[in-house]
Structure 1
Amino acid sequence: MKIVKIEDLHCNAGWRDFSFLKITTDEGLIGWSEYNEGYGSAGLTAVIRRMAHDLIGHDPRPIERIMGRQQAITRQAPGGLNQQAMAAIENALLDVKAKALGVPVYELFGGPVRDRLPLYWSHCGSYRFRNADVMGVEPVRSLDDLVKLGKHVKERGFKALKTNIFRFDLDPPNMHQPGFARGPGYPELNADGATLAAISDGLAAFRQGAGPEMGILLDSNFNFKTEGYIKVARTCEPYNLFWLEIDSYDAEGLRLIRDRASMPIASCESLFGRRQFRPFFENRSMDVAIIDAPWNGVQESMKIAAMAEPYEINCAPHNFYGHMSTLMSANMCAAMPNFRIMEIDIDDVPWKDDLVTHPPVIQNGELIVPTRPGWGADINEEAVRAHPPKNPHP
């Protein structure tokens, strides 16, 4: 079997684009993966194309050999766009190999540990500030709206939800995101009284609506420094969080936060590869390690999860992309012994289901692990073409 063509496809997904990689073989097998060119990864498609050019004519099945060579080629510039490009290629190769064997991808990693995956509703309320119209849902404009949304999540059968920090005192109300240079508070990243009060009010509203049994997760992103995260953790204490999510590149600082927090700490979604995760494991910096499969590749992600196991750390996927990413992450979570819970975006564009041949199946807040070969679905290219991307991909 030989690779004869590697293509990238893109479509409008409302406030961002979905991007897919397609690897075609001379035997007619096609492998798919999803990647993301937003959130600091502008130019990723160009890097993927350059790497993919060297793979034409090669057998797609010896994935360790292929990725080992790519790692050697990029050794002087590890991580970042290079790792994301390798991950996109690796994930499409896994789809090809599993389809060639007639098995789901999780069979390549020892088979499924579980066939149902507990989910948490991610970005609960977050997208509704600016994108309610394109999603066809009610906007979030007040704390009362969060109470209603929490009740809705419970009625849908979900047992956990993750939200962000909302500032209703801003005009217009919006998410608190100074860590990404969006809104006030950048570049200092201090946890002032108004922000801490907003955190408390938002969590109280969700708790009121969703009830005492709902697992509530708060994602604080890169919005504070170590001092601020400790204040945030103290503010969250009355609300019995499932976890407080923190983005930090300082393993020792994160351990300090964990030592002073009363709730579990989750982190590491922005890290690349085992080498970057290692100091966080060695410092026992977090209770749950979050692994981004589209950034790391599922094969590398499984190695990271195996590395976490001796430190008694469970893992969860970073999955706020499209359905193909959800299926990729689901195959990983099915085979991962030390699995915690899976992230999924429920609020999204109405045409999201159309983009794949078999959308994920959710029952009572759990994802049913697919049993079809490969990831369990292919990309519907006609549907992708029906929604031209917002951003150019020359």
Structure 2
Amino acid sequence: MRNKARIAEVKTLSCSNSFRNYHFLKITTEDGTVGWSEFDENFGSPGVAYIINELSHRLIGQSVLLHEHIREDLSDVTRPALSGVIAQAIGAIENALLDAKAKIMDVPAHVLLGGMVRDKIRVYWSHCVAYRMRTEHFSPPIHDADGVRQIANDVRNDGFTALKTNIFEYDANDRISAWAPGFGRPHDLSRNVERKTRQDLRRHLEIMRESAGPDIDILLDLNFNARTDGYLEMIREINDLDIFWVELDTLDPKALAYIRSKSNHPIASCETLLGLQQFLPFFQNQAVDVAIIDTPWNGVWQSLKIAAAAAAYEVSVAPHNFYGHLCTMMNAHFSAVVPNVRIMETDIDRISWDSEVFTHAPEYKDGYLILPDRPGWGTEPNEEALKKYPPLAKTGLINRTATPRLDF
């Protein structure tokens, strides 16, 4: 087994996902076993594939069974800059090694990760409204408050029990627009939260609550769209509403702990952190109720260590998951073995060719993802289908919004 598990080839692939690209890593052993992982270059992370390819020569001839050894070797040779896209590249390598190792052992990945404590994982329907505003890719399209009501109804009628939405502004005709200055929409360096923005946020949540009904949990994601005072303004505006959690991003754990102290709702955060050392100050400062872990970025094996540390501080965790079906399966196996998982993110609105690109789609029943029992992650890309949908030349946050020119 040891010799057959030696790595013979490391290859990255990608294809179009309509408005962004899917990215995959394929590691093949000398006996033909293939380990897959999915990574991302759209969410502020250009160049991950380049880093993987730069590191790939160090994998050739090594055994996929020794994923911890390989990770430490890669960490050693990148240590002066061991963060950002380098850490994400190493995470992608770790995840492909885990898939290959599980396939060699002929077991589902959750067995390799320690064994499941649950065989189904509660999920929430993420990006409610945001995706359907991309009318050229998703349907039915959302232009106004009626579309918001429609998708809230769809969540309930399709058997899901929770949804997550974002910040939207409403004009005099009830037409909506996204408000995300943290991501350059609009370009506003101040990221101040004015009265209309917070009032529109409240109205948006009230519309969703009325249409979804009293039994659907509503999660709110504020992202990086404010500073401490702005987050406090929005939290005060909605403190009396029925909200499952308020999610927001700041890199200051003490500021987040202060925001948490003023919120009537649980606070979720940390989705952009990399490595246990970055998470620890948020646990030590009691800054979060739920730590969101991006397992494609961190690597699932390392994410287990983060989740264990969170448990020591009585903190729940939740996967960051807005990618393709392979990432969803990776997160499902992680969620199956971690006792302190709160709920799992997933995107239910999908592009039409997802069923071609992946060999298996997640199975959902009554608001839960049913854990697959196939070897490895339980799905993989269809390479022939990838060729049908070549990757887009320019995608991701770096190509989304040009900064207005300032003429002097």
Common fold, TM-score beyond 0.5?
Answer: yes
Q: Which residue is 1:41 aligned to?
A: 45
Q: Which runs of 5+ in 1 are unaligned?
A: none
Residue 96 of structure 1 aligns with which residue?
100
Identity %: 45
Following TM superposition, where does structure 1 have runs of at least 4 consecutive aligned residues deviating by more than 4 angstroms? none
CA RMSD, Structure 1 to Structure 2 (Å): 1.4
Tell me the CA shift for residue 385 of structure 1. 1.1
One-letter amino acid of the counterpart of residue 103, structure 1:
V
After superposition, the C-alpha distances for 1:211-270 in whole angstroms (9 at most, x for unaligned) are: 111100010000000111111111122321000000110000000000000000000000
- Whether the 8 Å contact between 2:290 and 2:317 is mirrored in structure 1 is yes
- Alpha-carbon distance, 1:24 to partner: 0.6
Query: Where does the alignment leave 5 or more consecutive residues of structure 2 unmatched?
Result: 396-408
Q: 1:132 aligns with which of 105, 130, 135?
A: 135
Quick check: 2:325–2:379 contact (8 Å CA) kept in 1?
no
Q: Secondary structure at the match of 2:225?
A: coil
Match of 2:296 in 1: 294
Q: Counterparts of 1:292 and 1:170 in 2: how far apart (Å)?
A: 38
2:78 aligned partner: 74
* AA at the equivalent of 1:133: E
Q: How does 1:142-181 map to 2 (within 5 A)?
A: 142-169=144-171, 173-181=176-184
Q: Which residue of 1 aligns with 2:278?
A: 276
* Contact preservation (8 Å) 2:145, 2:176: no
Q: 2:186 aligns with which of 174, 183, 186?
A: 183
Normalising by structure 1, report the TM-score.
Answer: 0.97
Query: Does the Cα contact within 8 Å between 2:329 and 2:377 map onto a contact in 1?
Result: yes
- 1:227 is matched with 229
Contact 1:144 1:205 in 2 (8 A): no
Q: Counterpart of 1:248?
A: 250
Q: Could you say what secondary structure the match of 2:239 adopts?
A: helix
Aligned AA for 1:45? A
Aligned to 2:329: 327
Question: Which residue of the partner structure matches residue 265 of structure 2?
Answer: 263
8 Å Cα contact 2:169-2:200 kept in structure 1: yes
Residue pair 1:17, 1:391 contacting (<8 A) in 2 also: no
Structure 2 counterpart of 1:385 = 387
| Equivalent-residue separation in structure 1 for 2:57 and 2:177 (angstroms) | 43
1:123 and 2:117 aligned = no
Distance 2:192 2:168 in 1: 16
What CA deviation, in whole Å up to 9, does each residue of 1:167-195 have, x standing for no partner?
A: 233998421110012215x2101110111
Q: CA deviation at 1:275?
A: 0.3
Q: Distance in 1 between matches of 2:198 and 2:65?
A: 51
Equivalent position SS for 1:134? coil
**Change in 2 beyond 3 A, CA 1:392/1:165:** closer
Report how far residue 286 of structure 1 moved: 0.6
Residue 346 of structure 2 is aligned with which of 320, 331, 344? 344
1:60 deviates by 1.3
Q: 3-state DSSP class of the match of 2:137?
A: helix
Task: State the Cα distance separating 1:61 from its structure 2 match.
Answer: 1.0
The TM-score with structure 2 as length reference comes to 0.93
- 1:85 is aligned to 2:89: yes
SS of residue in 2 equivalent to 1:207: helix
Count of paired positions = 390
